Amino acid sequence: MAAAAALLYAVPSHPQTDETPVNGIIPYRTVVTTLDNGLEIIVMPMPGDGLATFWSIVRTGSRDEYEPGRSGFAHFFEHMMFRGTERYPADVYQRILTELGADANAYTTDDLTAYHVSMTRADLERVMELESDRFKNLAYSEAGFKTEAGAVYGEYRKGKTDPLFVLYETMRSTAFERHTYGHTTMGFERDIIAMPTMYAYSRTFFARYYRPENTILFVAGDVDPAAVNALAEKYYGDWERGYVSPDVLAEPPQRNERRFDLGYDGKTLPLLWVAYKIDAFDPSNRVRVAADLLAELAFGSTSDAYQRLVLEEQVVEFLAADPNLNREPTLLDIYTRIKDPEQVDYVLAAIDATVAEYRDALVDADRLAALKSRLRYGFLMGLETPDQVAQQLARHIAISGGLEGIERLYAAYAGVTAEDVREAARAYFVPGERTIGVLRSAQ
């Protein structure tokens, strides 16, 4: 791994290359270029022994599914994008990648859909030719659409066999009344069932969101930025603009605590989920930044709560907290699986006691400093290969539109004080702004 960041350098042949220096958490030089059609290309040369990774990051996820009855289409297109084009049908596309020894996959979340291919540097042009073709010319019949819609529903039904997914799904729909974060990436079941009838709508969804100004290409590995940018211009330069921003409804303020209990049709230990409303990702919001550290300090593997509930008393199988990084206001999730059905109230009381502690007292300065160091070290250790780099950075790229967000975030982490952590607890651990869900076996 490189020891420190180098200056961002320009590609002289392209007038729209960003020459802003990057000297922060990312230890590799970076070239950022924007084509005339709005497509952004981020190139990160790094040691790769001839290997590279190519990511197409679409800044559309389940958040963008704002039309009633139309949830699940961002995830659906993760499937459809492998259906191919007239020039490269699915079987031809897959055969070429296999011959190259390349590995292609994709995933969808609430704020993005990412397509990634790992290959050798020598095969980068062929991969960019294939990927640009399906982004510009995706083709599928109504029969193929219906087949894939059936596969998506099968995936949803499989997910419903996981009690944690069932609880998560209900937590989302309960915590959010209007915002699209109220449905999971899979979508509402009723919409997935109806999906086979929405062939015409699917074409409009693709036309609105799969556009160059809503997509970022990220290339890391043993590559030359000038060569990558020339290929991007060659294969993506004629991709037409046309992005239409979604009309996402803002979530109204929550004033009262919400609770629900679920019966699970199967055997499972009780699951408890406590979710507090929290602000959107914003490195300039000091309290929001401190909430990331608060979640780990209060409920992470080094916390007193974890030590007590997981290790000493062994009343829960796990305890975790996640202050989700989202483009819009979201949830700080605390969840656990409880070994004894009679201990649900006890565990909730322990969580409440921890919340009260962090609202009232200042965290130990040494613990805070150790966490900052651990976060930075853990992030850097995840940047050793091109694939690891892309996996670490993709969500931040999608949420903030580039690498500046993650640079600013880690700079902000360094400045968080014990007072900031307490202020975050007071700002977000608000009883009236939380939702509590419990899932128990109905058998």
Q: Tens of pLDDT along 355-414?
A: 999 999 999 999 999 999 999 999 999 999 999 999 999 999 999 999 999 999 999 999
The average pLDDT across 327-351 equals: 98
**Ranges 14-28, 299-313, 341-355, 386-400: which has the least confidence:** 14-28
Do residues 247 and 67 make contact, with C-beta atoms less than 8 angstroms apart?
no
**Burial environment of residue 389 by CB neighbours within 10 A (0 to 12, 13 to 18, 19 or more):** buried
End-to-end CA distance of the chain, in Å? 53
Average pLDDT rounded to a whole number, residues 229-245: 98
Torsion of CA 91, 93, 98, 103, to 10 degrees: -120
Q: Is residue 58 within 8 Å of 210, Cβ to Cβ? A: yes
Inform me whether the pLDDT recorded for 19 exceeds 60: no
Q: How many other β-carbons are positioned within 10 Å of the β-carbon of residue 83?
A: 19
* Mean pLDDT within 88-101: 96
Q: DSSP string of 357-410?
A: HHHHSPPPHHHHHHHHHHHHHHHHHT-SSHHHHHHHHHHHHHHHSSSHHHHHHH
Residues 6+ away with beta carbon under 8 Å from 332: 275, 276, 277, 278, 291, 295, 321, 322, 323, 324, 428
Would you say residue 2 has pLDDT above 70? no
Query: For residues 317 and 305, what is the distance between their CA atoms, to the nearest angstrom?
Result: 13
pLDDT tops 50 at residue 435 = yes
Q: How many C-alpha atoms does 240 have within 13 Å on its Cβ side?
A: 5
- pTM exceeding the 0.95 threshold for the entire prediction: no
Residue 256 is encoded by which pair of tokens? 């009262």
DSSP category for residue 231: H
Helix, strand, or coil here: 109?
coil
| Strand-by-strand arrangement of the 17-18 sheet | 17-18, 31-34, 40-45, 215-221, 51-58, 113-120, 103-108
Whole-angstrom distance, CA of residue 299 vs CA of residue 417: 18
Give CA–CA dist 245/73, Å, rounded.
15
What domains are there in the chain, each with its CATH number? 17-236 (3.30.830.10), 258-441 (3.30.830.10)
How many angstroms separate the CA atoms of 157 and 166, rounded?
Answer: 11
State the Cα–Cα distance between residues 389 and 374, nearest whole angstrom.
Answer: 18
pLDDT of residue 16: 54
Q: What are phi and psi of 334, to 5 degrees?
A: -125, 125
For residue 230 the two structure tokens come to 């020339």
Q: Are 94 and 147 in contact (CB under 8 A)?
A: no
User: What local confidence, expressed as pLDDT, does residue 329 receive?
Assistant: 98
Whether 184 shows a pLDDT value over 70: the answer reads: yes
Listed residue (206, 199, 208) closest to 78, CA to CA: 206
